[in-house]
Amino acid sequence: MANMSLKKNPMPTLDPIERGRVFAEVALGYTEEQAIAEAARCLNCKTMPCVAGCPVRIRIPEFINKIREYDFEGAYKIISDTSSLPAVCGRVCPQETQCESKCVRGIKGEPVGIGRLERFVADWHNAHSEQIPVNLPKNGHKVAIVGSGPSGLTCAGDLARLGYSVTVFEALHTAGGVLVYGIPEFRLPKSIVAREVESLKAMGVEILTNMIIGKTLTVDELFEMGYEAVFIGSGAGLPNFMGIPGESLKGVYSANEFLTRANLMKAYREDSHTPIMRGGNVAVVGGGNVAMDAARTALRLGAEKVYIVYRRSMEELPARREEVEHAIEEGIEFMLLNNPTEILGYVNPDDKTDPKNGFVKGMKCIRMQLGEPDEKGRRRPVEIPDSEHIIDVDTVIISIGTSPNPLIKDTTDGLEVNRWGGIIVDESSLTSRTGVYAGGDAVTGAATVISAMGAGKLAAESIHKFLDN
C-alpha cells in the first residue's frame, strides 16, 4: 500500500544561518528510513510518465521499487544503466521541471521526491562499494571526447559500456568541467564528482588533462591519431559583460572567474593561495542558477551583504525555486526590477598612489517596471525615468550568461556554427563534419547539467550507429 502523504519527506538541511558561512553541503540527504518512506509514495504507474520527463530516461519506478525492497545496490544498477553521474544528478538536476513535473502524485500534493531518492541511492552505493576496475569487452573502435563536463562524461560512459576505447581531452587540470569549476562545494562536493570520474576510469575511460582542443591538438589531428569519431562537449565558454562604464574596475568579476577562483582554485578553503575579494558588500547581476551560486559563495567567503540585482521580477527569475529559497534563507537580498547602469570606482584626487584607487565603491542602478510581453511572452522590463540610485558595494559579479568558446570552431574547417557561435547539429547530434558530434552548452548555450547529459547520451547512440555500420 502506497504512502498517501501529500507531502514529500522533507530533505534534512543544515541550519541556514550556520551554513551561510561555511562550504559544507547544504542538503544532507535522506536516511534509509526516510528513503523507504518516500519510495512508498510512488504508485508504480504502468505508463511511467516520469521516465518521459528524464533526459537520460532513467527507469524511475523500477529503481524506486528496489528501494522499497531494501535492495539499494539493485536500485543503483538500474540508475547506472542509463546515467553515468547518478550522485551528481541527484543533487543538481531541476527535477521539478523534469521527471517530478510528470509525476501523478504531483496532481494533488507534491510529486515523489525522485531526485532525493536518486541521490540517496548513489550515496549509498558510494559508501558501500569498492571501486573495482571493470573489464568491458572492447570492440576495437576509438572515440575522442572533447571536454570532461556532464555531456562529455556521459558520452564517454555510454560508449565505454558499448566497448569503445574512449579518450577524454580536458583543457583544465582537473576533470569535471562545470561540475568542478562552476557548481560550488556546498551544492555539489568535489569529492562526489571525483568519485564519478573514478568510476568512468575504472570502466577503462582514459582522461587526459591540460589538453586544449583547438590549441594543443586540433579536431583533424584527433582523426589522424586514429580516433574514428569525435564528440565536442566543450561548454559555453566566454563570459558576457554588460557594456556599461566601470566594468574593468578592480572588484568586478564575471561569475565564471569568481566561481572558478572559489571552486576549481579552491579559494573556498582557508589554506588556499588563490586570491579573491572577500568581505564587504557584493552585488551579483543576473537571476540564473549561476547567479545564485555566486551570491551564496560570496556570502560564505565572508561578505557582509549580498544582493541579487535582477531587472525583472521574482516571477521571471530563471533560477531553480529551491536555490532561490536557500539563498533567501541564508540572507541574500533580492534587489528585483533593478538594472545596473554604471559601476563606480574609488578615485582619490589628491593621492594617485592610494591603494584604494580603481577599486569598486558602488553601483548605479535604475529601477524597472514590467511592460508589454515580448515575442517569447516574457514581460519586457522598462526603465522608470529618473529612478537611478546608488548601492554601496565593493564587489560586482556579472552573471548574465556566456557565449560559446571560439577555439574549436576557429581551428576546424567546415564546422558550422550559428550566429551566436553555437555549433550546429542535426537531430542525431551530428555536426556539419562527418564523424564529428557535439552537445551540451557548446551547442545550446548555457543550459542545465542534465540537458547536457541527455545530449551526451544521444551523441553516444549516434556515434555507435555511425561506427557499428
Partner 1 sequence: MYRIVTKRVLNPYVTLMDIEAPFVARKAEPGQFIILRQDAEGERIPLTVAGFDREAGTVRIIFQTVGATTKKLSQMEPGDSLSDFAGPLGVPTHTEGLSQVCIVGGGVGCAIALPIAEKLKSLGAKVTSIIGFRSEDLVILEDEFRAASDELTVMTDDGSYGRQGNVCVPLNEILSSGRRFDKVIAIGPLVMMKFVVESVRPTGIPCDVSMNPIMIDGTGMCGGCRLTLNVDGKKVTKFACVDGPDFNGYEVDFDEAISRGNMYRGFERHAYEKTCNLFLKGGKTGG
Which residues of this chain interact with partner 1, rule CB under 8 A?
Answer: 171-173, 181, 209-212, 215-217, 235, 237-239, 241, 243, 247-248, 250-251, 253-254, 256-257, 260-261, 264-266, 273-275, 355, 357-358, 405-407
Nearest by Cα to 156 from 51, 75, 85, 55: 85
Work out how close the CB of 136 gets to partner 1 at its nearest, in angstroms, rounded to a whole number: 28
Task: Give the span between the Cα atoms of 193 and 302, in whole angstroms.
Answer: 26
Q: Are 209 and 170 in contact (CB under 8 A)?
A: yes
Task: Collapse the DSSP code of 451 into the 3-class scheme (helix H, G, I; strand E, B; otherwise coil) and give the result.
Answer: helix
Cell output for 91: 543533487
Q: Which of 244, 203, 227 is nearest to 341 (CA)?
A: 244
Q: Which grid cell sits at 196?
A: 564519478
User: Which C-beta is closer to partner 1: that of 20 or that of 235?
Assistant: 235
CB-nearer residue toward partner 1: 111 or 235: 235
Shortest distance, position 83 Cβ to partner 1, whole Å: 26
Nearer to partner 1, 31 or 210 (CB): 210
Residue with cell 582619490: 348
- Closest contact distance (angstroms) between CB of 46 and partner 1 is 46
Query: Given 3-state DSSP classes, what are the helix, strand and coil percentages for the chain, each rounded to the nearest 5?
Result: 35, 20, 45
Nearer to partner 1, 221 or 325 (CB): 221
CB of 358 to partner 1, least distance (A): 4
Q: Which is nearer to partner 1, 163 or 189 (CB)?
A: 189
Owner of C-alpha cell 583533424? 220
Q: Which residue has the cell 562545494?
A: 185
* Greatest Cα pair distance in the chain: 78
- Nearest distance, CB of residue 264 and partner 1, angstroms: 8
Torsion on CA atoms 194, 200, 205, 209, rounded to nearest 10: -10
Nearest-approach distance from CB 345 to partner 1, in angstroms: 9
User: For 264-293, b where at least 16 C-beta lie within 10 A, e where not — what string?
Assistant: bbebbeeeeeeebbeebbbbbbbbbbbbbb
Which residue, 216 or 428, is less far from partner 1 as judged by CB? 216
Closest CB 221 distance from partner 1, rounded Å = 10
Of 29 and 235, the one with the shorter C-beta distance to partner 1 is 235
CB of 36 to partner 1, least distance (A): 41
Residue 456: what residue type?
G
Nearer to partner 1, 128 or 356 (CB): 356
Please tell me what DSSP assigns to residue 385: E
Amino acid at 8: K
Closest by alpha carbon to 438, among 141, 178, 213, 233?
233
Grid coordinates given for 192: 562526489
Nearer to partner 1, 264 or 328 (CB): 264
At its nearest, how many Å lie between partner 1 and the CB of residue 268?
Answer: 13
CA distance 39 to 34: 8
Nearest residue to 295 via CA among 322, 327, 318, 265: 327
